[in-house]
Amino acid sequence: MELLKGIDVANAINEKLIKESADMGGRVPKLAIIRVGERPDDMSYERGATKKMEKVGFACESFVFPETIENEAFQKEFDTINDNPEIDGILLLRPLPKHLDEEAVVGRISPEKDLDGISPVNLAKVFAGDKTGFAPCTAEAVVEMLDFAGIDVTGKRVTVVGRSLVIGKPVSMLLLKKNATVTICHTKTKDMKEECRRADILVAAAGVAKMITAEYVGKGAVVIDVGINVDNNGKLCGDVDTDGISSLASVATPVPGGVGSVTTSVLAKHLLQAAKENR
Amino acid sequence: MELLKGIDVANAINEKLIKESADMGGRVPKLAIIRVGERPDDMSYERGATKKMEKVGFACESFVFPETIENEAFQKEFDTINDNPEIDGILLLRPLPKHLDEEAVVGRISPEKDLDGISPVNLAKVFAGDKTGFAPCTAEAVVEMLDFAGIDVTGKRVTVVGRSLVIGKPVSMLLLKKNATVTICHTKTKDMKEECRRADILVAAAGVAKMITAEYVGKGAVVIDVGINVDNNGKLCGDVDTDGISSLASVATPVPGGVGSVTTSVLAKHLLQAAKENR
């Protein structure tokens, strides 16, 4: 089994971005990260995104609000950022605290700044297979990894485990657009093992630590692990028991160091695209 | 094999609508049908929709424009209809002639009047599994037929042949929402027969006359035919060779007289929903 590492994919994207951004005429693409409260997950993603923007030479500003901010005040702050022409793209760390109206923000974020594809306009474009929109970064990172590894998905059986609007559904649509035959599985699926085992490419986005064992993997399958979980020993792990499937899969992505490492590079790619449109 | 006829499903929906609309306080839901040119398909659907609205006691007005109408003039006419508070819902017959900017219309139609689910807001809702939006009527008609027949799709293998934004993709999302395990096939799928044969429920929306023969159908499968084609003898037919599969399928829908007959009832259902919101 070949281990497909995110760092290699990310580096390839980064290099391309640095080249492509050279002709921006000195205008540096700028990302706004919006965070409410101090959730460790959010802060970790924020650090990763900030570092990635630095790496490719893009600007990044964090707008951090206390968890106690009132809804009206937050909506106003959001509009100011959303309307600021200096800001090319926005990353909103979600979920927001429950007292804040997240739906209102999602409905109002400018589609052309909506780098993580949360607005209805971008969701509809992903659904339609219209590439002018922004797909959720993690979903697109899966596609970037397959592309980098030279895996053509045309006509292949892809099984996606998970049907969230952030990963399962958009990655299904992106791979369908690339002519894969896509099966979407979830907790209500009967005989999940069989559905997974027949896949040429298995995308695990269930959010269940190491649920994908050898019984779920067909000989020679490509296994992309989108899960980020903590195992019984408090260690970060994916949805895939990578050691357990190593004699079956032809290619697998590790966690950590897999899809997650590519996500912020896709974010940077989206930022450059937004900045070019915004010029 | 049991033949699941559209008329029975449509009648059940119609009856419900007549009851439910009784409490509208004399306000009659009103549909606007927008047609450009004289395409026989459009005119046939327009007649069907008009008759259906009459049947359930709803109002219906056709706005017909010559095929030669200029884009600017058409967009203006569209806005007038779209902004008219007397009109609760709109059915735009598509595709529009090529010189008209269909994308602009789709982007501007009020989501709450967009009965056939063409606007980004409604597409995004269908994608998200948010039932407050309008799904394309034909896709929802498939679900209505399964519901009427008492077929629970939970955990079942559903294979959808076709990935259009009008049927294949939305029907996949609607059935996924109902907990089916959905596989989306298309022209690039390898071994289409195998993908179809393993389905508990097969939805044929390929637009190819009688392509689904016995080789595509597993023992006991439910086969829903969404195709509307013309066969070699000039006769209307579906995507399914209904005679050929009769010893295999447990249930199948005929064409004509199947899903198509339910579509306008779903349109009427959406109109009532829109009118209630519009009060």
What does the pLDDT look like over B64-109, one tens digit per residue?
Answer: 999 999 999 999 999 999 999 999 999 999 999 999 999 999 999 9
pLDDT digits (tens, 9 = 90+) for B105-138: 999 999 999 999 999 999 999 999 999 999 999 9
Point out the domain boundary residue: B111, B128, B162: B111
- Asked if the Cβ–Cβ distance from B181 to A176 is below 8 Å, we say no
In angstroms, what separates the C-alpha of A96 from chain B's closest C-alpha? 18
Same domain assignment for residues A84 and A182: no
CB pairs under 8 A between A and B: 85
Higher pLDDT residue, A186 or B25?
Answer: A186
Above 90 in pLDDT, residue A279?
Answer: no
- Asked if the Cβ–Cβ distance from B169 to A123 is below 8 Å, we say no
By CB atoms closer than 10 A (0-12, 13-18, 19+), residue B240 is buried
Question: What is the per-residue pLDDT for A23?
Answer: 82
Return the CATH number at A65.
3.40.50.10860
- Asked if the Cβ–Cβ distance from B183 to A185 is below 8 Å, we say no
Using a CB-CB cut-off of 8 Å, the residues of chain A touching B186 are 176, 179, 181
Cβ of residue A169 closer than 8 Å to a chain B Cβ: yes
Phi, psi of A210 (to 5 degrees): 50, 30
Return the CATH number at A241.
3.40.50.720
Pairing mode, strands B157-161 and B181-185: parallel
Same domain assignment for residues A159 and A242: yes
Pairing mode, strands A30-36 and A59-65: parallel
Give me the helices (H) in chain A, please: 6-20, 40-56, 71-83, 102-108, 120-128, 137-148, 168-177, 192-197, 259-278
In angstroms, what separates the C-alpha of B168 from chain A's closest C-alpha? 11
Point out the domain boundary residue: B93, B111, B129: B111
Using a CB-CB cut-off of 8 Å, the residues of chain B touching A195 are 181
Report yes or no on B126 lying in a domain. Answer: no
Same domain assignment for residues B81 and B148: no
Cβ of residue A73 closer than 8 Å to a chain B Cβ: no
Report yes or no on A168 lying in a domain. Answer: yes
Contact A227, A202 (CB under 8 A): no
Question: What is the per-residue pLDDT for B84?
Answer: 98
Question: What is the per-residue pLDDT for A127?
Answer: 98
Same domain assignment for residues B107 and B57: yes
Same domain assignment for residues A194 and A107: no
Question: What is the per-residue pLDDT for A112?
Answer: 97
Question: What is the per-residue pLDDT for A43?
Answer: 97
- Asked if the Cβ–Cβ distance from A181 to B189 is below 8 Å, we say yes
- Asked if the Cβ–Cβ distance from A163 to B176 is below 8 Å, we say yes
Six-digit token string for A191: 């005989």
Point out which residues pair with A240 in neighbouring strands.
A212
- Asked if the Cβ–Cβ distance from A165 to B125 is below 8 Å, we say no
Average pLDDT over residues B194-209: 98
Above 80 in pLDDT, residue A230?
Answer: yes
Report yes or no on B242 lying in a domain. Answer: yes
Higher pLDDT residue, B162 or A22?
Answer: B162
Question: What is the per-residue pLDDT for B216?
Answer: 98
Give Cβ neighbours of residue B102 (< 8 Å, ≥ 6 apart): B94, B95, B96
**% pLDDT > 90, chain B:** 96
Query: Is 0.90 exceeded by the ipTM?
Result: yes
Average pLDDT over residues B2-19: 97
Per-residue CA distances from B151 to A57, B145, B255, B258 (Å):
56, 9, 20, 16
Above 80 in pLDDT, residue A197?
Answer: yes
Question: What is the per-residue pLDDT for A278?
Answer: 86
Mean pLDDT computed over every residue of chain B: 97
Using a CB-CB cut-off of 8 Å, the residues of chain A touching B127 are 123-124, 126-127, 165, 169, 173
Cβ of residue B182 closer than 8 Å to a chain A Cβ: yes
C-alpha B72/C-alpha B181 separation (Å) is 45
Average pLDDT over residues B153-170: 98
Same domain assignment for residues A102 and A162: no
Query: Which of B155, B169, B172 is the closest to A188 by Cβ?
Result: B155
Cβ of residue B154 closer than 8 Å to a chain A Cβ: yes
pLDDT digits (tens, 9 = 90+) for B228-261: 999 889 999 999 999 999 999 999 999 999 999 9
C-alpha B102/C-alpha A261 separation (Å) is 40
Same domain assignment for residues A218 and A171: yes
Question: What is the per-residue pLDDT for A76?
Answer: 98
Contact B112, B132 (CB under 8 A): no
- Asked if the Cβ–Cβ distance from B184 to A182 is below 8 Å, we say yes
Report yes or no on B120 lying in a domain. Answer: no
Question: What is the per-residue pLDDT for A176?
Answer: 98
Q: Which of B251, B249, B257 is nearest to B196 (CA)?
A: B249
C-alpha B26/C-alpha B44 separation (Å) is 30
Cβ of residue B156 closer than 8 Å to a chain A Cβ: yes
Average pLDDT over residues B42-62: 97
Report yes or no on B182 lying in a domain. Answer: yes
Above 80 in pLDDT, residue B279?
Answer: no
Report yes or no on A10 lying in a domain. Answer: no
Q: Which of B103, B189, B197, B200 to mutate to test the interface with A (most CBs of A within 10 A)?
A: B189
The whole domain housing B144 covers: 137-259
Mean pLDDT computed over every residue of chain A: 97
Report yes or no on B61 lying in a domain. Answer: yes
Contact A38, A10 (CB under 8 A): no
Average pLDDT over residues A188-216: 97
Average pLDDT over residues B25-45: 94
- DSSP string for B86-103: T--EEEE-SSPPTTS-HH
Report yes or no on A86 lying in a domain. Answer: yes
Total number of domains constituting chain A: 2
Same domain assignment for residues B155 and B254: yes
Q: What share of chain B is helix, strand, coil (3-state, %, to 5)?
A: 40, 15, 40
C-alpha B107/C-alpha B24 separation (Å) is 30
In angstroms, what separates the C-alpha of B112 from chain A's closest C-alpha? 15
In angstroms, what separates the C-alpha of A239 from chain B's closest C-alpha? 19
Same domain assignment for residues A168 and A207: yes
Give me the helices (H) in chain B, please: 6-20, 40-56, 71-83, 102-108, 120-128, 137-148, 168-177, 192-197, 259-278
Question: What is the per-residue pLDDT for B23?
Answer: 82
Same domain assignment for residues B155 and B96: no
Nearest residue of A to residue B164, measured between CA atoms: A128
Same domain assignment for residues B107 and B141: no
Cβ of residue B68 closer than 8 Å to a chain A Cβ: no
**% pLDDT > 90, chain A:** 96
